[in-house]
Structure formats: structure tokens, C-alpha cells
Structure 1
Amino acid sequence: MKDIRGYAMIAGAALLWGVSATAAKFLFNRDVSTLLVVQTRVTFSALLMAAGFRLFRPSLLKVNPRELWRLAVLGIVGVAGANITYYLVIRETTVATAILIQYTSPLLVLAYGVLSGDEGFSAVKLIAALLSLAGCALAVGVFDTAAIALTPLALVAGIGSIVTFAFLTVYTRKVVARMPSWTAVLYALVFASLMWAVINPPWVIARDSHPPELWVALVGFAIISVLVPHSLFAAGLRSVVPSRAIITSTLEPVIAIGSAAIVLGELLTPLQILGAVTVLAAIIILNLRPEEERRSVSEPSQRSCHDIHTPPG
């Protein structure tokens, strides 16, 4: 039951990330700057979480000072790093290219898990990872030469996108084994917000005149694109190993193109539909051996209970 709940949380995160991709496109089509969207979604999420915890769960604000460096690494390298590189690829090329590049990261996560000894290797995982990559490629239109483009800067940023997204997945699991997942997400967002504030200070944003309805839209976007999905993803990683989690999250581009078709009226090609089916098939194949998952997560779960109550060395 615990692993089913974990998969449901990760699928829920992918659902919201996919829907938020369409919402972001809606904002971009109205000439809202990419930097403003990316920065405010992290900052507003951190502020909302902090306010909510202060009012209803003050205990979640408490963190061992010796854990702050881990949270800083998670927020700056994982959250902010994945955002910076992903949106840099979008700026240099296309959304399709960015999605395709980022979702090669399941193979990197799988390789790391096997080589580090954190996970066992299985043909099921490898087949699922390859199928999910193929499905993503079809879903974003890999055969459309107009949609897929690559510049030297995009190539460098793309490699960074793969590494940081893989790091975000692997390192989040390690961090949430040491503290409540809500606490980990909050402080990761705080450190990511601080990084964005250095790059684009608040007084620079204040110089531009934005209508009140835009700020309301940005707060709503922060909730559906960061606050809720990142919390679900972190909580899901307590019971799902990183390689399975990141493969499951490849539902995101499938949901993104589906929601774009419904909301924005974008037509789906037969190859995109085939890609969506392929991703779903990968996730089904991934769950053909659930007993391996339980063995993989039993030890981290025990360490989690120990580390939460024992100060780290």
C-alpha cells in the first residue's frame, strides 16, 4: 500500500507539472517574461509554505542547522539548477527540445543507482527507461525538424538539465530520509528563491509595472507548478526508488501535450498519441515486479526513521 501511495504522489506531481506547462505557455503567449514566471513560482511557493507552516504546523519550520548545507545544495543545484538549465534550453531552442533532453535523465538516474549500489539492476527498469525515453521523443515530435533544434549553448545547458534533474531526483530521496519531506521542500525552495533574488533582485522587478491580475495568476501558477507537485514528488520518494520515480514522472510531457490539445486547441498527431501510449506502457512494465520495489525501499525507510530522530554526524 505504501509503494502504491508513493507512485500515486509522483503521478500526481507529473500531472500538475504537465498542466503547468500549458499554463506557462498561456502566460508566455501574453508576453510575461520567462524569468518572472520562473522566479515568482519558486518564491511565492516558499512564502506560502512558510506562512502555512507558521499558522498550522510550526514544528515543520524546525530544522537542524547542520542540515542546512544539504538543503542549500538541494535548492540551488537541484531546484534552481534544473530550472535555469531547462529554461535556458527553451530560450535557445524549443520547448520540445528541452523536454526531450531533460527526460533522458532516467537513464542517468538508473546508472547512478546501480553503480552506487543504492538500487539493484533489472531488465524491467532498463526496458521501462528506454520506452519512456522513446515515448517522450514521440510525444514532443522528435521527427519534426522545425520543433527540434540545438545550438552549442543549448547543448551545454541541455547536459546541465539532464544532470540537475537527475540530481534533484536522487538527492531529494536522500534528504527526505533525514527530515519531514515538507520541511525539505520548504527550505529547498527558500534557497532556490535566494539564488533567484541574487540573479534578479526584487527592486529590479518592482521597476516594472504589472497589473494585479498578473500577480494573482503568478501565485496560482506557483501553487500548481511548484508548491503542490514538488511536495508530492518529495513525499513519493520516501517509498519509491529514484529510477522508478523519474520514469513515472515522464507522464509530464504526455499530460502537457494532452492539456495543450484540450485548453489551447493544439492538434495531436498519430505519433504523439503513440508516444503517450508508449510512456504509459513503460510505467505499466515498471510495475510488473513490485516486490523488487519493496525490497529496495525497506532499508531507506528504516534509516529514515532513525535519521529523523538522531542528529547527523
Structure 2
Amino acid sequence: MVTELPVRGTAFVPHRGRGTALILLASVSFGASGTIAKPAMLAGLSPEQVATARIGLAALVLAVVVAVFRPRLLLLRRAEWPLLLGYGLLGVAGVQLCYFVSVQRLPVGIAILLEFTSPVLIALWTRFVRRTVLPRRMWFGIALAMGGLALVAQVWDGLSLDALGLLLGLCTAMCSAAYFLFGERGATTGDPLGMVTWGMIIGALVMCAVAPPWTLPASVLAAPAAFGPWQPPVWMLVIAVALLSTALAYGLGTAALRHLPAAVASVVGLLEPVVATATAWALLGESLSWAQLAGAVVMLGGATLVQLGQDDTSRTAHACSRPAGSASG
């Protein structure tokens, strides 16, 4: 009989390669969301309506799947609620709401750059709250990745900062950092699928209060949308962004946090804007400049340096935690 529980007496062993593969897949899934959702918004749906449908459908699908196949994950202890509330309110609903408002008041490139400053916030949290000394290589990798992101986002194009938009853009970054930090803790202390499911349910309740699902216009949902060479109905794109770029993406990302620290996963997740730019170029005809291609290469180099820096930190922590002269086993 096959069981999903670890064998008694054995401990979960993180696997760096598996975690990296999961976060890369999550970045691809997340990055495709804008390309899938943009035609639906051009057809007449508001960003808030798309977010409500996206999170609500993902919550419904995850809840049904978990209820059928792993119902024990829906049972919660009182001590788990604070973590899940933080994950759902900030890591799910907060990211969506703050980003949508900031992008209305700032150029899209600036809004994306502000959101993906979350690795810097996570590094600061790790250094000054957790009091973990980070190697210089890791700091340099973060700076390099952020510089590459600036090239990808082309922040020099149409720069005009609005005070409220800037504040909400920074709030988006904080919510994104909370997603990684809450996800890291929840994934290492519980089941990632249960955390994502409850996080989606909580996020869906918040979004439904902002943009009730009954306000979705049926005529727009049935209308065709321009999606590359295809003309799918809007409702099909909404379902695709809910399943592929929300339920699957959050599940993969949270599972990756069982294997990677938040500081590493958040920087590897910077590949998301690269994926977003590439898919928008391939399917929506949006141009991809040489500067953006160069930025993608710089971002990959920065992510690699962060991985190497985290390896140094892990080896140092392991050496410090092992008593001198002790025998293995």
C-alpha cells in the first residue's frame, strides 16, 4: 500500500534541483497569466473582475479536488489560521489588488519593477529579522537580477511617478515577499496543497467582496477574444488563467519552497517577467527589444549567483550546527 506520509524515523530531505525545477515551472505558469488575461480585459472585463474570476475558480477547483482525494487537508488546527490568513490576504489577494491599482497610476514597466523588488525585501528580512548573514555573492546576485529586470521592464519608457501609485507598487512588493515567506514556512511545516487551497479560498472571499462574481457581464464572457491566431471566447481564457496560471502556479511555487529558501526562490521567480514578455511577443505581437533580451540574460546570471551564494550559506550553517569532534550518525 502506497502512502503519502513519510516513513517513520525518516526526515524530509530538500532537493535543490527539484525545487529549482518547480519554481521555474511556476514562473512560466505565472508569467503566462498576463498574456492570457490581457485579451479578456481588452474584450471588456475589468482587471478586478479577471482577478475575482481567476482566484475564485482556482479556489473552487482546488477545494473540490482536495475534498475528493485528500479531505484531511481541509481540517485545520487553530494554530494554523494566522499563517493561512496572512498567506491568503497578502500572498494571494493583496498582490492582485495592489498591482491592479498601481498599474492604473504608473507605467506598467515601473509597476512590474516595483512588484519584483520583493527579493530585496526578503533578503533584508533574512538579514535583519532572522539575523542570517548573507554572503556578498548573494547580495551582488540580487542587485544584478534587479538590474536585469529594469532592462526587461524598460523602466526608462514613459517614466512618470504618482505618489499613491508608487506606494501601492511597494505594497505589491511587500505582498509578494509575504507570499514567499509565508509559503516557505507553511510548506516546511505542513502540506503545500492544503496551504494553497485555503489561501485561495481566503483570497477568493476578499476578491469577491471587491468585485462580486455576479457583476461579470455574460455578453463579454461569450464574446471572442484575439489571442494570437485564435479567437477563443473570453470565458475560455478566464478558465485557462485560473487553472494554469493560478491553481497550478501557486501549487508549484509553494511546493518549491519545501526545497528552496524564500530568498533563493524569489530571485529565481524573477524569470516571470521574462516569460511574460516572451509570450506577449509570441501571441500578442508585442515587441521584444534587444535591451529586454540582454536584461533576461543578466537576470539569469543574477539568479545563478544567488543560488551559489545560498550554497555557501547552507554549508556554513551546517558546519556551525555540527559539534566539534562529533561522529556522524
Q: For residue 223 of structure 1, report the CA deviation from its aligned partner.
A: 1.1
Aligned residue runs from structure 1 range 145-294, under 5 A: 146=158, 148-205=159-216, 209-212=219-222, 213-289=233-309, 291-292=311-312, 294=314
Deviation at 1:208, TM superposition (A): 5.6
Residue in structure 1 matched with residue 120 of structure 2 by the alignment: 107
Work out whether residues 45 and 220 of structure 2, in 8 Å CA contact, stay in contact via their aligned partners in 1. Answer: no
Aligned-pair CA distance for 1:173: 1.0
Deviation of 1:257 (Å): 0.8
- Equivalent position of 1:304 in the other structure: none
Q: 1:164-211 deviations in whole A, cap 9, x for unaligned?
A: 111121121112222100000110111111111222234444x76444
Separation of aligned partners in 2, 1:201 and 1:31: 16
C-alpha distance in 1 between matches for 2:170 and 2:147:
18
1:91 aligns with 2:91: no
Distance of 1:234 and 1:211 partners within structure 2:
31
Extract unaligned runs of 5+ from structure 1: 299-313
SS of residue matched to 1:239: coil
Higher-Rg structure is: 2
CA distance in 1 between partners of 2:162 and 2:274 (Å): 25
Identity of aligned residues (%): 27
Establish whether residue 48 from structure 1 lines up as the match of residue 61 from structure 2.
yes
Selected match of 1:134 from 147, 150, 173: 147
Aligned pair in 2 of structure 1 residues 108, 142: CA closer, same or farther (>3 Å)?
Answer: same
Corresponding residue for 1:308? Answer: none
RMSD: 2.0
Q: Report the structure, 1 or 2, having the larger helix content.
A: 1
What are the superposed Cα offsets for residues 74-116 of structure 1, whole Å, 9 maximum, x if unpaired? 1012211111111111122232121111111211100110112
* Counterparts in 2 of 1:28 and 1:202: CA distance versus 1, 3 Å: closer
Alpha-carbon distance, 1:118 to partner:
6.1
Aligned length: 295
Stretch deviating more after TM superposition (73-82 or 62-71): 62-71
Task: Give the structure-2-normalised TM-score.
Answer: 0.84
Q: Deviations over 1:213-265 (max 9, x none)?
A: 43332111111221011111111111111111110000011111111111122
2:93–2:206: 8 Å Cα contact kept in structure 1?
A: yes
Amino acid at match of 2:170: I
Flag the 1:247–1:297 CA change in 2: closer, same or farther, 3 A. farther
The CA distance in 2 between the partners of 1:62 and 1:186, in whole Å, is: 12
Identify the residue that residue 62 of structure 1 maps to in structure 2: 75
TM-score of the two chains, using structure 1 as the length reference: 0.88
Query: Using a 3 Å threshold, how does the CA distance of structure 1 residues 284 and 180 change in structure 2: closer, same or farther?
Result: same
SS state at 2:146 partner: helix
Instruction: Measure how far apart 1:289 and its partner are.
Output: 4.8
